[in-house]
Structure formats: structure tokens, C-alpha cells
Amino acid sequence: MLGIGIEADSRAPSSRVDSTGTHRRLQALIAIGWAPERLAAELGRHPKSVHRSMTGRSVTARTAHDVAALHERLWNTTPPQTTSEQRAAADTARAHAAVQGWLPPLAWDDIDTDPPPPPPTAERARRDGIDEIAVERALAGDHIYYDDLTSVEQQEAVRRLSARGASIRDIAALLGTTKRTISRRRANLGAA
């Protein structure tokens, strides 16, 4: 029996394929600030279509191909942030991704086949002195600000946002503090 595989590019556009890579690519773009609505526009699709692509167990081969091409084009590009609305959309996207634990593009060696990273456990967070809910609320822009967090939680919030590609200005705006404060925290992380 011959073991001939079918390459993704040679599949019929309407055939169904595993959605893991599609989920991760969309999540990675959101993690660096691309709002789902903006991604839908870039794909020429309705936002509900992008939502289905992020939640279903499978997608069409065409969708997988289109999202892979979009990811290839945008993975190292920040979204437009010239207006306050664009900045707010990017901040919201990053905060949502942070709460969900979505990784940025550079976190993956092979976005299609890498095993998922283990989620942070409540036990580890308690051991490290981190109130995970407070940090998640701060990252989501849910009225928890830098000064509301303990020193360890402040460091963790800045670490997570930095890992997701957020700028010093964006982190400061989201956490309600100064760029200088965030710059110092990032220097402590070795991320300045």
C-alpha cells in the first residue's frame, strides 16, 4: 500500500481540514493587536465568518489557505494605530488575547504542529504571589490598573503584554500608568 499524502495546497477548496493552524494564526495576529473585525476586512469576509474560523473544529481548505496567506503577510506588522479608534481596537485585541492566553506569531516554531503550551495553573500563580484574576482583568482593561496590582502582579502584567508585542506606550495606556514606569519594568525583564 502506498503512503501518499495529500498536500494542503492540492486539496479541493471546499474540502474540510483541521482548524488548529487557522485558529493559532488568527489568535497570533490578534495577540499583536489586529482586531478580529480588521482581520475579517483583510480577508474580505464577514466578522462572523472569522469567528467561525476561530471556533470550529475544521475549516475549508480555502479558508486555511487564505488565513495562512494573511498571517504570512501580517505576522510582523502592527495594525494601523493613527486614530484613537484604531489604537483602542488594537489595545482591546491585545488585552483579549492576553486574557485568553493566545500567543504571538514568534511564540511558535511550527504553528500547525507545535503542542499547545500548558496553561498557567492556579497553584503556580498562588506560589508566585500572583492573583491571576487581577492580572487578567488588568490585561483586559477591566478597571484594574497598575497601581491596583502588587509588585509581582505589575511585573507579570508587563511581562505578558511585552511578550505579546505590545509597545511601552500601549502597555502604559492599558494599565493607566506612565511610559517611564513601564520602561523601568521592562528593563527589569530584560525587554527594554
Tell me, yes or no, whether 133 lies in a domain: yes
Q: Is 169 found in the same domain as 122?
A: yes
Number of domains present in the structure of the chain:
2
What pLDDT is attached to residue 66?
96
Q: Is 103 found in the same domain as 32?
A: yes
Q: Is 148 found in the same domain as 111?
A: no
Tell me which of 86, 101, 116 is where a domain ends: 116
What is the band of 4 on the pLDDT scale with cuts at 50, 70, 90? very low
Q: Is 144 found in the same domain as 103?
A: no
Tell me which of 116, 133, 158 is where a domain ends: 116
Give the CA count within 13 Å in the CB-facing half-sphere of 151.
2
Tell me, yes or no, whether 43 lies in a domain: yes
Q: Is 125 found in the same domain as 103?
A: no
What pLDDT is attached to residue 120?
56
What pLDDT is attached to residue 8?
56
User: Is the pLDDT score of 123 beyond 60?
Assistant: no
**Number of Cβ atoms within 10 Å of the Cβ of 59:** 23
Q: Is 177 found in the same domain as 104?
A: no
Task: Please check whether residue 64 is in contact with residue 10, taking contact to mean a CB–CB distance below 8 angstroms.
Answer: no
Q: Is 74 found in the same domain as 26?
A: yes
Buried b (16+ CB within 10 A) or exposed e, 77-113: eebebeeeeebebbbbbbbbbbbeebbbbebbeebee
Cβ contacts of 105 within 8 Å, gap of 6 or more: 25, 28, 29, 31, 32, 71, 75, 76, 111
What is the band of 79 on the pLDDT scale with cuts at 50, 70, 90? very high
Report the sign of the C-alpha dihedral through residues 47, 52, 55, 61, in that order.
Answer: negative
Task: Please check whether residue 160 is in contact with residue 135, taking contact to mean a CB–CB distance below 8 angstroms.
Answer: yes
| Residue 187 to residues 92, 161, 167, 180, 184, Cα–Cα distance (Å) | 25, 14, 13, 10, 5
Q: What does the pLDDT average to over 72-78?
A: 93
Q: Is 107 found in the same domain as 44?
A: yes
pTM of the model: 0.60
Task: Please check whether residue 96 is in contact with residue 140, taking contact to mean a CB–CB distance below 8 angstroms.
Answer: yes
Per-residue cell: 115: 503542542
Tell me which of 75, 95, 116 is where a domain ends: 116
Domain membership of residue 141 as a residue range: 118-192
Using the 8-state DSSP alphabet, how is residue 102 labeled? Answer: P
What is the band of 177 on the pLDDT scale with cuts at 50, 70, 90? very high
What is the band of 5 on the pLDDT scale with cuts at 50, 70, 90? very low
Residue 58 host element (H or E): strand 58-60
